[in-house]
Amino acid sequence: MPTTMTFTPSLSEQLQGIVGAVHVLTDPAEIQPFVTDWRGRFVGSAQCVVRPANTTEVAAVVTACLEAGAPIVPQGGNTSLCGAATPDATGQAVVVSLSRLNRIAAVDAKNNTISVGAGCTLAAVQAAAREVDRLFPLALASEGTCQIGGNLSTNAGGVQVLRYGNTRELTLGLEVVLPSGEIWDGLRGLRKDNTGYDLKQLFIGAEGTLGIITGAVLKLFPLPKSQTTCWLNVASPVAAVDLLNQAKIAFDGQLTAFELVSETALGLVLKNIPDTLRPASVSPWYVLAELSDTSSYAVEYWLHARLEAGEVLDAVIAQSETQAAKLWSLRENISEAQKIEGISIKHDIAVPVSAIPAFLEQADATLAAAFPGIRVVAFGHVGDGNLHYNLSKPDAQENTHFIDSQPAVNRIVHDTVDALNGSISAEHGIGQLKREELLRYKSPVEMALMRSIKQALDPRGLMNPGKVL
């Protein structure tokens, strides 16, 4: 009797059967953009990239990978700054791109909520909210590219945290495909739900290590009736923090954003980004402030008093939306301007707002002594204590060698942050970049708790391995 042969399809073939052959990428050239991070710091390899169209397909993909023992790397817009969305170099992983889960499912203006797929870009969610005269306040420089699933997975912050909170505070419900392939449907637009553990909080900020976020119910807010944008020259970070507290006293919740920019950071933008102009006189430090639902006259009156007192050295108030956008572009293009200059050692740190001047003074001095000629590019969300503190050498050849000093540089910066009761990651996450650093600054109890959660949900360790833990 002839022997009956049993055909066992490969994992790629199984995935093609789930999502269609056109949505499983195996060609190295097609895969390359998915395995290289935005900064070009992390380059991995994958056996394929799969692009499911809905939650059911995501669950089937996860189940197939689980059965094959293949690591899974969830990916949104691939804008991570710490390598959270790229695979390792083994070539064993399957990258699951969520870009096709890009449907605005529902907008409930009376409940001030919007239900969206994880693959929606942040800009698309903002636009859908505006169509019903509402605001989704999360605002990032990468909003045209980054996706909601990634924003949730990194607990993104942005420039309006001061008034509206970070992504965690903007989220009411989630839908998640668990590492088992099961679907948890927590898509509820409730502001009060006291029925046990708040499970959604496990997945927000987990960087895809506990499951794949496929949908979310997000909070909306009334559109501001007016906005006033100001570019202010200040003498120092101390002056900036003092000005912040003055603004909070004067305007309270109307203060939407309060960004700190160094002259070095502004100089890189003016040098490398076309059609940018210096908005005011030269100063060591600048503040970009935005106030909502207050009259420009009230802002002008307040600023006049600050100028007379010497607390503000120069001031520009945008007279139109176009002028406001130009001021914001100076802040939003800092990262791009740095990228043009070459690679840098980046830090995304948080300290108590009152400790920002001390951090800058101590870190600057220690680094200058250890690495003469170092260039410090400091900017960020001073209103919530979050600074981006990036380091390089101005000379390209020197900088190539300086990057090798990252462990020593990180130690100086992170030790300074820790001494001030701060955090080594404020809004970018841990990813691959800070995984080892986390062990140094998290307590053993905290690490044990995190590992226990990971083991309970993902016992085989297949969900975004090598990230966070």
pLDDT value, residue 40: 82
Residue % of the chain over a pLDDT of 70 = 98
Mean pLDDT value across residues 445-466: 98
Order of strands across the sheet that contains 212-219: 104-108, 113-117, 212-219, 171-177, 183-186
Handedness of CA 241, 245, 251, 256 (dihedral sign): positive
Q: Average pLDDT of the chain?
A: 95
**pLDDT (tens digit per residue) in 175-186:** 999 999 999 999
Per residue in 383-431, pLDDT (tens digit) is: 999 999 999 999 888 998 899 999 999 999 999 999 999 999 999 999 9
Q: Which of 2-6, 93-97, 169-173, 440-444 has the lowest mean pLDDT?
A: 2-6
Asked if residue 4 has pLDDT above 70, the reply is no
* pLDDT in the model for residue 397: 86
Mean pLDDT over 106-134 rounds to: 98
CATH of 344-429, one of 3.40.50.2000, 3.30.70.2740, 3.40.50.300, 3.40.50.2300: 3.30.70.2740
Residue among 96, 115, 86 at smallest CA distance from 53:
96
Judge contact between 227 and 324, C-beta under 8 A. yes
- DSSP bridge partners of 72: 94, 463
What does the pLDDT average to over 432-460?
Answer: 96
Instruction: Give Cα separations from 452 to 162, 264, 457 (angstroms).
Output: 33, 44, 9
**Contact predicate 74/61, CB 8 Å:** no
pLDDT value, residue 81: 86
Report the pLDDT averaged over residues 149-159: 95
pLDDT at 184: 98
Buried b (16+ CB within 10 A) or exposed e, 135-172: bbbbbbbbbebbbbbbbbbbbbbbbbbbbbbbbeebbb
CA 26 → CA 76, 200, 354, 359, distances in Å?
A: 18, 33, 51, 47
**359-377 pLDDT, tens digit each:** 999 999 999 999 999 999 9
The pLDDT value recorded for residue 120 is 98
The confidence score (pLDDT) of residue 2 equals 52
> Which of 157, 323, 310 minimizes the C-alpha distance to 230?
323
Residue with tokens 């170099």: 89
CATH code 3.40.50.2030 for 227-335: no
CB contact at 8 A, 36 and 58: no
Question: According to the model, what pLDDT value does residue 131 have?
Answer: 97
pLDDT of residue 7: 55
SS3 of 260, please?
strand
Q: Give me the DSSP letters along 23-68.
A: GEE--HHHHHHHHB-TTSS-B---SEEE--SSHHHHHHHHHHHHHH
Q: Which CATH number fits domain 104-222: 1.10.8.60, 3.40.47.10, 2.40.30.10, 3.30.465.10?
A: 3.30.465.10
Q: Would you kindly state where each structural domain of the chain is located, as residue ranges?
A: 11-97, 104-222, 227-335, 344-429
The pLDDT, as a whole number, for residue 50 is: 98
pTM strictly above 0.75: yes
Task: Check for a shared fold between 227-335 and 344-429.
Answer: yes
CATH number of 11-97: 3.30.43.10
DSSP character at residue 81:
S
In the prediction, which pLDDT does 425 show?
95
The pLDDT > 90 percentage for the chain reads: 93
Task: Pick the closest to residue 50 from 119, 99, 83, 118 (CA basis).
Answer: 99
